[in-house]
């Protein structure tokens, strides 16, 4: 039975090695989460699901800082006392569990955007400027003082930009809201980001207010309640990456299972041949 035992041990080892890539990832958060200007203090907190010995903070594809964390703590903090342009960018974190060499997956990214108040805030206009009816197409134009940049459109009540547009080297961008409904009513503002520093933003400029008249309710009916809608940007493509990770995990699991099954069957066949041989146990 030695070959079969060896096969089972090998299969268990392969499964454990595959499981090392499936440790739950940590989560990363910014404090404050927005409105950070150059020179302000900011803290990135890596929240862990279990005790860890080391925590790494990555900026882009390369780790930037690492910290030893006490096992009693479930959060590791990385702080910038006075932010500079080089601190702006996309961050992730990762940890290693204290009782082995297993390393977690990377957290989802968070972007540290710094506001440079030396940039003049953009201007904004709304067309049509008066109250519009449901189904109308509305245009919101943002422009700056001759700085080619990417423009971002914000809606009050939403935590992130709802649209982004490249000015194509010009100084203006036009956002279109198609077939608006009362849920699109609200206050809109915009900002822009330098192409040389895509995580450095201008201050948010003045606002415009959109008012959408509801569609008349049918006789005897009632109008539905109006709520704020936020169709937020997803520039990181996390959903696509999650799908790829899931497929890779499935393939790895299938490979481990196939290898384990192969070794078990091969060991069983070897054992049967040994029993059937003239010098086997049944002779």
Strand partners, 95: 55
Mean pLDDT of all residues in 35-56: 90
Question: Tens of pLDDT along 103-116?
Answer: 889 999 999 999 99
The SS3 assignment for 154 reads: strand
Q: Say what the pLDDT of residue 140 is.
A: 96
Q: Is the pLDDT of residue 30 over 70?
A: yes
Instruction: Give the separation between CA 223 and CA 257, rounded to whole angstroms.
Output: 57
- The domain segmentation of the chain, as residue ranges, is 1-23+236-273, 26-107, 115-213
DSSP string, 181-196: -GGG-EEEEEEEEESS
If you classify domain 26-107 with CATH, what class do you get?
mainly beta
Over the chain, what is the mean pLDDT? 77
Say whether 115-213 and 26-107 share the same fold.
yes
Q: Say what the pLDDT of residue 73 is.
A: 76
Pairing of strands 132-133, 212-213: parallel
Residue with token string 């989560």: 27
Q: Say what the pLDDT of residue 42 is.
A: 96
Q: Say what the pLDDT of residue 159 is.
A: 76
If you classify domain 115-213 with CATH, what class do you get?
mainly beta
């Amino acid at each position: 039975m030695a070959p079969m035992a060896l096969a089972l041990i090998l299969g268990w080892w392969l499964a454990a090695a595959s499981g090392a890539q499936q440790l739950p990832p940590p989560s990363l958060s910014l404090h404050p989460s927005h409105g950070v200007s150059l020179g302000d203090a900011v803290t990135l907190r890596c929240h862990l699901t279990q005790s860890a010995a080391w925590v790494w903070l990555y900026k882009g594809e390369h780790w930037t800082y690492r910290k030893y964390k006490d096992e009693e703590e479930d959060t590791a903090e990385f702080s910038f006392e006075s932010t500079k342009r080089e601190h702006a960018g996309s961050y992730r974190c990762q940890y290693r569990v204290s009782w082995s060499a297993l390393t977690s997956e990377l957290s989802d990214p968070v972007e540290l955007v710094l506001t440079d108040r030396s940039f003049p805030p953009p201007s904004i206009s709304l067309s049509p400027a008066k109250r519009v009816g449901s189904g109308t197409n509305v245009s919101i134009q943002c422009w700056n003082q001759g700085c080619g940049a990417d423009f971002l459109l914000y809606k009050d009540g939403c935590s992130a930009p709802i649209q982004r547009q490249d000015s194509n080297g010009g100084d203006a961008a036009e956002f279109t809201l198609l077939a608006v409904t009362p849920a699109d009513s609200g206050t809109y503002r915009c900002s822009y980001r330098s192409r040389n520093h895509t995580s450095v933003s201008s201050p948010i400029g003045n606002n415009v207010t959109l008012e959408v008249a509801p569609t008349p309710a049918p006789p005897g009916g009632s109008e539905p309640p109006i709520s704020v809608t936020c169709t937020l940007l997803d520039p990181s493509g996390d959903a696509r990456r999650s799908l790829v990770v899931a497929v890779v995990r499935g393939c790895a699991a299938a490979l481990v299972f196939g290898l384990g099954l192969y070794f078990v069957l091969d060991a069983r066949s070897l054992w049967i041949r040994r029993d059937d041989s003239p010098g086997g146990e049944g002779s």
